[in-house]
Chain A
Amino acid sequence: MGKNGLTLRIIIFLVLNDFLETYAHFCFKQSALSQNDLHIRGLGDITAFAHSMIVNPHLWIGLVCVSAIFVSWSTILSKIDLSVATPITSFSYVFIALISWLFLHEYVSPLRWAGIFFILAGVIFVSMSSHDNTDVAP
């Protein structure tokens, strides 16, 4: 494709993307927390759930972040391949685990951390392959 180069500008966009994504999901979790004892029995329950989400201000703060992500993500995708860009933004996995532990009081067990670091190791492997021109397509 000839557009795999990771310039400083693209990296800044990717980091911005990470922070925005982490904060957006924190907001989404905050809005969903109000409905955590929900049981879906019919269509009415689904619309009631949708309504309670739409009127929740946290959802809208999250959506503002998502709009900003849309602009930065579109810029990133116009410069580098999707299969390169997507994994690099996954550093938000560590940020998400940290805010879940610090602010949502979730217990992140050693096994869960191990899983998250496997995901990160996967990310680094995938990132390395962005400069690999000797790979053979399957």
Chain B
Amino acid sequence: MKESLLLIILLIVMTSTCDTISQLCLKASINKLDLNVKGPRQILAFILRIILTPLAWLGFVFSCLSLFLWLFVLSKAELSFAFSLDSMHYVFIAIASGFVLKEKVGLRRWIGTGLIMIGIILVSLTGNG
């Protein structure tokens, strides 16, 4: 468990980056569907349409990559440490939602993102166990 703290943080940055790319792919593919899901048949159709979207598959590939990196991180770091630091993907997603998906990211949302960053720094200061 006494691996270099910097290496663990770097691995968590890589995990979060893969996670962010995966989320963006999923959101972009679902945005294109624009479905109003109500009954079981529509849910099935919804799932089928997601499966047929290449961008969703790209998201799945990055999910797998993220999972593998995450298991590797967990073999080296405490869960309460690693999972808290993994919240940096909110920061990545807030930035990417604004610039890639063109969602409106307002002032309060940026303040919230700033608070999350302070939290990440505080948790980082506790070291890994």
In the complex the two chains form, is A86's CB within 8 Å of B50's CB?
no
Most buried by A among B30, B46, B83, B110: B83
Interface set, chain B 78-118, CB cutoff 8 A to A = 78-81, 83-84, 87, 90, 93-94, 97-98, 101, 103-118
Chain A contacts with B in 38-59, Cβ cutoff 8 A? 38, 49-50, 53, 59
Per a CB cutoff under 8 Å, which of A1, A38, A125 touches B115?
A125
Q: Does B39 contact A (CB under 8 A)?
A: no
Chain B residues within an 8 Å CB radius of A127: 112
Q: Give the docked Cα–Cα distance between A35 and B114 (Å).
A: 35
CB distance A111 to B125 under 8 Å?
A: yes
Instruction: Please measure, in the bound complex, the distance between the C-alpha atom of A127 and the C-alpha atom of B112, giving whole angstroms.
Output: 9
Give the residues from 14 to 60 in chain A that come closer than 8 angstroms, CB to CB, to chain B.
Answer: 25-26, 28-29, 31-33, 35-36, 38, 49-50, 53, 59
Give the contact-size bracket for chain B. Answer: 35 or more
Docked Cα-Cα span, A100 to B103, in Å, equals: 35
Q: B8 contacts the other chain (Cβ, under 8 Å)?
A: no
Contact of A25 among B72, B79, B108 (CB under 8 A): B79
Q: How far is the CA of A53 from the CA of B69 in the complex (A)?
A: 12
- In the complex, what residue of chain A is closest to B60 when comparing beta carbons? A70
Q: Is there contact, CB below 8 Å, between B125 and A90?
A: no
**Complex: chain A residue closest to B104, CB-CB:** A137
Asked whether B71 lies within 8 Å of A129 as measured between CB atoms, the reply is no
Q: Given that A78-B46, A137-B105 are known contacts, is A97 also in contact with B80, CB under 8 Å in the complex? A: yes
- Residues from chain A with a CB closer than 8 A to the CB of B113 are 122, 126
What secondary structure prevails in chain A residues at the interface with B? Answer: helix
Residues on B with C-beta less than 8 A from A29 are 74, 79
Min C-beta distance of A64 to chain B, whole Å: 13
B129–A107 CB distance below 8 A:
yes
Is there contact, CB below 8 Å, between A35 and B75?
A: yes
Which of A50, A75, A116 is most buried by chain B, counting CB atoms within 10 A of its CB?
A116
Instruction: Judge whether A28 and B108 touch: CB under 8 Å.
Output: no
Least Cβ–Cβ distance between A126 and chain B, in angstroms: 4
- Please indicate which of the listed interface residues B30, B109, B114, B121 has the most CB atoms of chain A within 10 Å of its own CB: B109
**Bound-state Cα–Cα, A127 to B90, Å:** 12
What is the minimal beta-carbon distance from B54 to any residue of chain A, in angstroms?
A: 16
Q: Which B residues form the contact surface with A (CB < 8 A)?
A: 1, 23-24, 26-27, 30, 33, 35, 37, 46-47, 50, 67-68, 70-72, 74-76, 78-81, 83-84, 87, 90, 93-94, 97-98, 101, 103-126, 129
